[in-house]
Amino acid sequence: MIDGGEAIRRLALNVARYTGLAPLARPFVGGIGAILMLHRVTATPEKPDSVNRHLNIAPSFLDAVIADMKADGYAFVPMDEAVERIKAGGKGGRFATITADDAYRDNMIEALPVLEKHGAPITIYVAPGLIDGTADLWWDVAEDIVNACDRLTLATTNGPAVIDCATRARKTQAIARLHAYLATEVREEDLRTVLRDLAKSNGVDADAPRLRTLMNWDEIHTVAAHPLVTIGAHTINHSNLKRLSEADARHEIGAVKDKLRAELGREPRHFAYPYGYASAVGCREVGFARDAGYVSAVTTRHGVLRAEHAGFLHALPRISINGRYQSLAHIRTMLSGVTTPLANAGKMVVTV
């Protein structure tokens, strides 16, 4: 998935790192803790050169990050305890909690052994539609579509748009164009139909990416029983809530509780907004998550936790541990808190 704030975050990170500002600023902006965000954790990604490779880190890097943070005094706690520590203003020392979006199979196979080594809990946010097949890993399917053809035609409001996919460089550009088309030009309600029509016409199996990389319900049952694992909600169909009507958005946020309770015998207490950036979650969506009764809700907004977040438990920021930043120096810089205001227009606490 393409995050529109990535360029700003990268600039902020490099400015802070290379000016030596991070360690000097930490006592003032370091906050009380952090929520780490993962997606995939595998040493052997199926497509090492994928445009989506930023969603993956190696298990060895996760091991190094946790060890480094523990050596720096962080206590790794489950999400329930993280919320209580936020409410208490961080009393008890710096803390961290680990989250992972989408329920990738490698979270269980390759990440969990690392977490067991360190006794580090994790919250895995599940979108049942991705597991059942009523929703698609469209960002992976889009890449498969472009890789399967030399030319792609999109039905835009201005008429047919032909995209050249003939070379590697053109394919990279085409994937970005297709991502933008699906995420912003196609109605959210129509995304699945449009995606699957493109996949079928180009000989691509739209189910393959999710079947290959996501857990099935049996595996989710197994991982949910692990003492280090909490299962959270990620909407029914991994929808961009801001692009839905109020009724549909409330359904995506609320009905997922019923679905997960029916599957796992326990109602999820914690929620993650799909995509999680400004064009996917705002005041309206935060209110819906609060109304649905979740204890917490996390965004993908960059930032460390501060005591003030006790008043904004349904708009919590996270620190992305991803393939672009597999460097302990980068992680230390982000955890220092110095990149939080740099990435958020000067704000230490972003409420939506």
pLDDT at 15: 63
pLDDT confidence bin for 4, thresholds 50/70/90: very low
Average pLDDT (253-279) is 97
Identify the burial level of 207 via C-beta atoms within 10 angstroms of its C-beta, where 0-12 means exposed, 13-18 middle and 19 or more buried: middle
Check if CATH label 3.20.20.370 holds for domain 2-132+213-341. yes
Distances (CA, A) of 112 to 116, 119, 261, 343: 6, 10, 23, 31
Average pLDDT (137-158) is 96
Average pLDDT (130-139) is 98
- Mean pLDDT of all residues belonging to the chain: 93
Identify the burial level of 67 via C-beta atoms within 10 angstroms of its C-beta, where 0-12 means exposed, 13-18 middle and 19 or more buried: middle
Domain ranges within the chain, ordered by starting residue: 2-132+213-341, 137-206
User: With contact defined as beta carbons under 8 Å apart, do 201 and 137 qualify?
Assistant: no
pLDDT confidence bin for 199, thresholds 50/70/90: very high
Percent of the chain, pLDDT > 70? 91
pLDDT at 352: 81
User: With contact defined as beta carbons under 8 Å apart, do 321 and 335 qualify?
Assistant: no
Per-residue pLDDT reduced to its tens digit, 29-73: 669 999 999 999 999 999 888 999 999 999 999 999 999 999 999
> What is the pTM (predicted TM-score) of this model?
0.94
The secondary structure of 105-169, three-state, reads HHHHHHHHHHHHHHCCCEEEEECHHHHHCCCCCHHHHHHHHHHCCCEEEEEECCEEEEEECCCHH
Q: Can you spell out the DSSP letters for 306-318? A: -GGGGG-TTSEEE
pLDDT at 26: 63
pLDDT at 206 over 60: yes
pLDDT at 248 over 80: yes
What one-character DSSP code corresponds to residue 39? S
Of 14-28, 33-47, 161-175, the poorest mean pLDDT is in 14-28
Of 19-23, 108-112, 170-174, the poorest mean pLDDT is in 19-23
Average pLDDT (154-179) is 95
- For 43, other C-beta atoms within 10 Å of its C-beta total 12
